Amino acid sequence: MNRLVVVESPTKAQTIRSFLPDGDFHVEASMGHIRDLPASAEEIPSEYEDEDWARLGVKVTNGFEPLYVVPSKKKGVVRDLREALSDADVLYIATDEDREGESIGWHLLNVLEPEVPVRRMVFHEITQDAIRGALEDTRDLDMHLVEAQKTRRILDRLVGYSISPLLWRKIKPKLSAGRVQSVAVRLLVQQETERITFVPATYWDLEARLSKEEIGVDAEMTHLNGVRLAAGRDFDEDTGRLKEDLTEGEDVVLLNEEQATTLAEQLPEQTWRIADIKERTRTKSPYAPFITSTLQQEANRKLNLSSGRTMSVAQSLYENGYITYMRTDSTNLSSKAVEGARRTVTERYGGEYLSDKVRQYSSSESAQEAHEAIRPAGSDMKTKDELGLRGIEGALYDLIWKRTLATQMADAKVRYTNVYFDAEVDGSVARFRASGKKFDFPGFFRVLVEGSDDPEAALRDRERPLPSLEVGETSVGSTPDSASEDQGFRVRSVEPLGHETQPPSRYTEASLVETLEDEGIGRPSTYATIIDTIQDRGYVRKEGSSLVPTFTAFATNNLMEAQFKPLVDVNFTAQMEDVLDDIARGEKKPTPYLRDFYLGDDGVEPRVEEGLDEIDGREISSVSFPDQWGDYVVRVGRYGPYVEGTLNESTVTASLPDDLAPGEVTEEKLQSILEEANAGDRVLGIHPDADKPVLLKSGPYGPYIQLGDDEENDPKRVSLPPGVEPEDVDFELGLQIANLPRVLGEHPDTGSPIKANIGRYGPYVQHEGTFASLRDNDDVLTIEFERGLELIRAEEDANKPDRVLGPHPKTEEPVEVWNGRYGPYVKHDGTNASLKDDQSIDAVTMEEALDLLAEKGDSATQEVRS
C-alpha cells in the first residue's frame, strides 16, 4: 500500500519521514496554505472581475462565501501534490493540530479532490512514539475548526479591505487597518498620550550606607516623625502635585532638596538604634509551563528576541523534533511529560527538590485545540548540550527545558527580613529600612541557575544578605574601628537623593503581548505577525526595546476612534475572539454574525460609506495638545507629518523629522523647527567661477546650500554635512559644499575617479557604480584619496558573496552564501533564506541551502525538492 503524508514544510517532512515505518510512506510538503483569498486584482478569476464583491474576495450577499484561489507561486506545489497523490492508496493529512493546520488540510482536500481514503493524523510533538501513535489514532477533519479559521480570515479581510481605502483617502496612501492591529495601535497611542500629558513631580529622600562584619547594608529613609516620606505613587500624573486624598504633613512628608541635604549632613554624627526587626517566610511556586504568549514574553526579556524571531526559532525546534507544538494556549502537560520531568528532577537534584505531588496548571477558558503546553519533546527531558543545540536555538530550548522541569519541583522558601533603624536629629526622628532576602530552600530556583559555572554561587547572587543584627543595637560611629564594630553597626554615609516621577513606560514587545493576552485580544499565534505589521506600516518604530508610535499612528487612531469605535474597543475585540471560540466549538453559526458585523445598521460597510462623505481629512489627521504644545498643531499629510503654527502673524508649516516621537515633542521644539524651516534664504556670496549666488536655504529635509536663484531650472542643491549647523556656515564653507562632489583621485585598477559627495542618505564616496557611506569620523570636505579608496574596496568586498555553493540544479544560477546585516543567509535568483542557528557560512552545504530556499518559497527549488 502506497501512503501519502502531507505536512506544511520540508523540514517537518524530513523529520517525520525518519519516524515512519519503512516501506510505503511518502511525505510531501504543501509549503503552508495552497490557496487563499485573492491578494491582488491579478489573482481574481476573469469571470468574477466585474462583481461588486470581487475586490473583497468575499461574496457578501451570498452568505459571505469566500472566493479562494491558488496563487501562481503555489501552482507548482499543487501539481506535484496531485502527481504524488495519483500513486497513493491512502492520504494522511498531517498538518498542525490548530485551526490553521485544520484549514490547510481542508484546502488540500478541496483542491486535490482525492479519490482514496483520507485520514487526519494529529500530534503535538514530532517523536517516533507520537508519529506512530498518530498513524494508529486518526480522525476526520474537524469542520468546526475550519469554520472558525475561515470566519477569522473573512473578518480580517472585511476590516482590512474596507477600511484601508478610507485611510488612504483621508490620511495618506499605503496605510492599513486590521481587526487586531488597530487595537494594538490604539494601546500604543494611549500610552504615548499619557506620556505627553504627564506632569513630573520632584521629591527627595535619603539613602544610608551601613556596615557590620564587613557586610554592607543599604537602608532607605521611609518616615520622619512617624509620617512616611512621599514616593512616586503619591503624585497625580496630570498635575505633578500630591494626590487630592493626601495631606502634606499628616499623610506624607514631602522633603525638598535643602531639607534632605541638611538631614544627610547631620545624621551620620547621631546615634542610630535598631527599633524593630520583622521577618516573614514566603513560599514561591513555579510559573506554569510556557504557552505561546509567555514564551514570546520571556524570550524578549531574557534573550532580546522579537516575537517573530521567537516563533521562527520555536518553529525550527518543533519541526526538528526538539519541542512540542509552539502555537498553544494550553498549560496542560501530558502524563508522559510529567513523569519524565519528575524523573529528571530526582536524578539531577535529588528527591527533596521534587514537588510533593504532580503539578497541573489550569488553562484559560479560551484555550484552543493544541492541548499541551510548550515543552521538550518526548519524555527524556534532555538538555540542550545533550541534544547538541547551540546558538539561539539552544538558548530558547534551554528556557523551555528549565520552565518545564521547574513545574514539577518543590516550592522555594524565601525568608525576607526588614530591619528598621531610628536616628534622632534636632528633635525629629528619622526612620530607615534595610531589606534582606535569603533562601531557606531554593526549590525550583535550582533549575533556573542550571548551566552556571557555580550554581550555588548563582543562587547566592539572588540573595540580599544582612549581617547579624538585634533590636536595641546602636551604631558605633563612622570612623574605621573593627573592634568597636563587634559591638554594633557603623553608619558609613548618608546621601540625599532627588527623584523625578517618570511617565508610563512605553510598551515593549513583551509587555504589549502580555497586555493583548490579558485583554483577550487576538490569539498568541497572531501576535508576532501583528507586531511586524504595525512596524511595516509605519505606525510604530523600535527605539531600543521600546515600541514608539508615530504621528501616523495618532492620525489613524483618530479616524478609527471617530468612525469605528467598537473595532478598537478592547472589550468588543475580545468578544469577537469569544465568538470565534464558539464557532470552533460548534456552538455558533458564522454567517449571521458576519452579516451583522459587516452589513448591520452600525456595520463596517455603512460606516465606511458615511466616513467617505463626512470625515474631514485635514481635521482627522491633526494631533494637538494645547496644554503641552500651545497653539501648534501636528498634521499627517501625504508626505509625512508636519507642524503648523504662526510666525510673524503668518501661518507657516515645517516637516517633522522621521525619528521625532510624539512623546518627545515640546512647544519649544515645535517653535524651533518652524523658525528654522522658515528662516528665509541667506545669500553667502557669489560663486567666483559660476557667477551665481551661493544661498543657504531650509527645506523639508533640513538646511542646504543652493547654487543659483530659484528662478533657474533645477538649481544645484547640496545638504549641509552632518554636524554642521546653519549658523556655522559662512561663504567659504558654503562654497566648499556647493563645489561638491570632490574628485579624490583615480582608482588604481580602473582609472575612473573616486568622488566624495553628499546624497539623500548622507555623505559618501563613489567609484563607478559602487557607493560607500562615510563613517562618523570622516569629513566629506576633507577626506583624502587613501581613505576613500579604503571605503570603496571594503564596499566592493561586501558586495561579493562569502561563498558560492555552485549552480542551482534547475536554473543553473549560482546559489550563494552571504553574511548580511541580520546574519548569514543563502541567496538564489532574488530569494534570500536565513541560515539556521546551528549552520555556519563555512559549513552549510548545497543540500541544506536548497532546503532553506524551498522553505522560503523559492519556486525553482520547490520543484527540485518535490
Burial track 214-227 (b if 16+ CB lie within 10 A, e otherwise): eeebebebbbbeee
Active-site residue, from 92, 325, 593, 764 = 325
Q: Which three cell numbers mark 708?
A: 543659483
Q: Which three cell numbers mark 419?
A: 530591619
Contact of 811 with 829, CB cutoff 8 Å: yes
With a CB cutoff of 8 Å and minimum separation 6, the contacts of 295 are 310, 314, 326, 374, 399, 400
CA triple 103-61-156, angle to 5 deg: 40
Burial track 783-816 (b if 16+ CB lie within 10 A, e otherwise): beeebbbebbeebeeeeeeebebeebebeeeebb
With a CB cutoff of 8 Å and minimum separation 6, the contacts of 314 are 295, 323, 326, 374, 396
Whose cell is 501539481? That residue is 79
Contact of 812 with 843, CB cutoff 8 Å: no
Q: What is the dihedral of CA 733, 735, 740, 744, to 10 degrees?
A: -70
Spatial CA neighbour of 70 closest among 39, 102, 27, 28: 39
Q: Which three cell numbers mark 549?
A: 508610535
Spatial CA neighbour of 162 closest among 242, 24, 60: 60
Burial track 707-744 (b if 16+ CB lie within 10 A, e otherwise): bbeeeeeeeeebbbbeeeeeeebeeebbbbbbbbbbeb
Cα diameter, the chain: 98
Name the residue type at position 487.
Q
Spatial CA neighbour of 780 closest among 745, 725, 732, 736: 736
Q: DSSP assignment of 469-492, as one string?
A: --TT-BB--SS--HHHHTTSBEEE
Contact of 433 with 231, CB cutoff 8 Å: no
- Cα 58 off chain centre by: 32
- Eight-state DSSP code of residue 376: B
**Residue 395 CB burial class (10 angstroms; 0-12, 13-18, ≥19):** middle
For residue 222, the SS3 value is strand
- Eight-state DSSP code of residue 727: G
Q: Is 642 a catalytic residue?
A: no
Residue by residue, what is the 3-state secondary structure of 233-279? HHECCCCCCECCCCCECCCEECECHHHHHHHHHHHHHCCEEEEEEEE
Contact of 64 with 597, CB cutoff 8 Å: no
Q: Which three cell numbers mark 70?
A: 491558488
**Residue 113 CB burial class (10 angstroms; 0-12, 13-18, ≥19):** exposed
Burial track 48-82 (b if 16+ CB lie within 10 A, e otherwise): eeeeeebebbbbbeeebebbbbbbeebeebbebbe
As a whole number of angstroms, the distance between CA 812 and CA 264 comes to: 78
As a whole number of angstroms, the distance between CA 174 and CA 165 comes to: 9
As a whole number of angstroms, the distance between CA 505 and CA 548 comes to: 10
Q: Which three cell numbers mark 525?
A: 499565534
Pairing of strands 118-120, 90-93: parallel
Active site residues: 325
